[in-house]
């Protein structure tokens, strides 16, 4: 039983006996706000290091305000509890630091992965641009790389690592374009008589962009009229005049019953070749050509 005069221990300001509200030193685990030794409040009874203030119940002699004292075990019990709290705080702080370091490492790894992905994307853009430097900016339908490589393998029937014009004809049967149309488009994007893995993405995207413009203007009609051909060319950002467009229609519309997709593809490929030659011979970028005999002979080979 408590004797009279024990409503509060002297000088401590506590309304309840020790341990009722919270264990000593456990308001927050040690090390969660600041590392040990940096501005931390010490457990009760340990504020002054080796010189303890006074353990609870020991402020005035062996008994304080108690008759007969409370015994000699309380200071050691308090010190033991404080030591346990310190150990628990240190363990929790160590675990928190390990968890924080692990999360930081994961964040760094994720950031490095994103940076690597962006570098690969930028590298692909740089590689791709070298095949597009001489042509107008067309509305491209970009397919995933893995789909393109699978399609290339399917078209490469003889497993030579290249695709011939004949193999192109077999791989794009749904578009129904003739041999000459495929050959003209190949000449527009490459100086080689075949397609390899390097220029195949551009070849495939041109075909699909031309098909998209053809279907959009013609409302899925199998043929286009002259005015619709001009509109489709404008969708693809070609800058040909109506007079040039009509001349090309007369050249490639063999049946004179409207422009089919294969014939429209030939018109576009011809304009691509002209853009390529302009960039090759117009070194001063004046959109004019001054050719000698050798230049004329070189230029004429593209149209034979």
Return d(Cα 226, Cα 244) in angstroms, integer. 11
Give the pLDDT confidence score for residue 205 in this predicted structure: 92
Give the pLDDT confidence score for residue 173 in this predicted structure: 86
Task: Specify the DSSP class assigned to residue 197.
Answer: T
Write the pLDDT tens digit of every residue in 153-198: 999 999 999 999 989 988 888 888 899 999 999 999 998 999 999 9
Give the pLDDT confidence score for residue 287 in this predicted structure: 75
Write the pLDDT tens digit of every residue in 15-59: 444 444 444 444 444 444 444 443 444 444 444 444 444 444 444
- Distances in whole angstroms, Cα of residue 156 to Cα of each of 146, 171, 194, 195, 196: 15, 9, 11, 10, 9
At residue 283 the predicted structure's pLDDT band, cuts being 50, 70 and 90, is: confident
User: Comparing 111 with 218, which gets the higher pLDDT?
Assistant: 218
Return d(Cα 94, Cα 36) in angstroms, integer. 11
* The pair of three-digit structure tokens given for residue 204, joined into one six-digit string: 């495939």
Could you tell me which residues are beta bridge partners of residue 163?
A: 195
Give the pLDDT confidence score for residue 235 in this predicted structure: 96
Give the pLDDT confidence score for residue 89 in this predicted structure: 62
pLDDT at 96 over 50: yes
- Distances in whole angstroms, Cα of residue 169 to Cα of each of 95, 180, 262: 66, 10, 11
Return d(Cα 211, Cα 265) in angstroms, integer. 8
* The pair of three-digit structure tokens given for residue 210, joined into one six-digit string: 């031309």
Write the pLDDT tens digit of every residue in 199-227: 999 999 999 999 999 999 999 899 999 99
pLDDT at 286 over 70: yes
Domains in the chain and their CATH numbers? 145-303 (1.10.238.10)
Its pTM stands at 0.52
Nearest of 78, 94, 87, 4 to residue 44 by alpha carbon? 78
Least confident among 127-131, 153-157, 170-174, 272-276: 127-131
Return d(Cα 234, Cα 138) in angstroms, integer. 10
Judged by DSSP in three states, 195 sits in strand
User: Comparing 156 with 89, which gets the higher pLDDT?
Assistant: 156
At residue 246 the predicted structure's pLDDT band, cuts being 50, 70 and 90, is: very high
- Distances in whole angstroms, Cα of residue 144 to Cα of each of 71, 123, 149, 150: 82, 15, 9, 10
**For residues 8-20, average pLDDT:** 41
At residue 76 the predicted structure's pLDDT band, cuts being 50, 70 and 90, is: low
How many CB atoms sit inside 10 A of residue 55's CB? 16
Could you tell me which residues are beta bridge partners of residue 224?
A: 259
Give the pLDDT confidence score for residue 225 in this predicted structure: 96
User: Comparing 168 with 76, which gets the higher pLDDT?
Assistant: 168
Task: Specify the DSSP class assigned to residue 224.
Answer: B
Return d(Cα 289, Cα 275) in angstroms, integer. 12
User: Comparing 107 with 53, which gets the higher pLDDT?
Assistant: 107
pLDDT at 236 over 90: yes
User: Comparing 78 with 2, which gets the higher pLDDT?
Assistant: 78
At residue 101 the predicted structure's pLDDT band, cuts being 50, 70 and 90, is: low
Return d(Cα 284, Cα 281) in angstroms, integer. 9
Spatial neighbors of 261 by CB under 8 A, at least 6 apart, are 175, 176, 177, 210, 211, 214, 222
Give the pLDDT confidence score for residue 276 in this predicted structure: 87
Give the pLDDT confidence score for residue 21 in this predicted structure: 44
């Amino acid at each position: 039983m408590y004797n009279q005069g024990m409503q509060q221990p002297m000088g401590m300001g506590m309304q309840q006996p020790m341990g009722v509200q919270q264990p000593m030193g456990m308001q927050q685990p040690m090390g969660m706000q600041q590392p040990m030794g940096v501005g931390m409040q010490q457990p009760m009874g340990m504020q002054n290091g080796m010189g303890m203030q006074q353990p609870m119940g020991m402020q005035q002699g062996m008994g304080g305000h108690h008759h007969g004292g409370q015994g000699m075990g309380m200071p050691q019990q308090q010190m033991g509890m404080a030591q346990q709290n310190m150990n628990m705080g240190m363990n929790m702080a160590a675990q928190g630091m390990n968890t924080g370091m692990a999360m930081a490492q994961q964040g760094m790894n994720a950031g490095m992965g994103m940076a690597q992905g962006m570098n690969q994307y930028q590298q692909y853009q740089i590689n791709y641009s070298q095949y597009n430097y001489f042509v107008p900016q067309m509305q491209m339908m970009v397919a995933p790389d893995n789909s393109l490589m699978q399609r290339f393998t399917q078209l490469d029937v003889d497993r030579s690592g290249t695709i011939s014009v004949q193999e192109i004809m077999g791989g794009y049967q749904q578009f129904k374009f003739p041999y000459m149309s495929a050959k003209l488009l190949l000449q527009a994007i490459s100086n080689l008589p075949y397609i390899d893995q390097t220029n195949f993405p551009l070849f495939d995207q041109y075909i699909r962009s031309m098909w998209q413009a053809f279907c959009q203007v013609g409302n899925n009609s199998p043929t286009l009229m002259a005015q619709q051909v001009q509109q489709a060319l404008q969708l693809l950002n070609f800058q040909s005049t109506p007079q040039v467009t009509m001349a090309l229609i007369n050249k490639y519309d063999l049946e004179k019953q409207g422009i089919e997709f294969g014939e429209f593809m030939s018109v576009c490929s011809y304009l691509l070749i002209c853009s390529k030659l302009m960039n090759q011979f117009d070194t001063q970028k004046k959109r004019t050509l001054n050719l000698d005999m050798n230049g004329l002979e070189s230029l004429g080979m593209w149209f034979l």
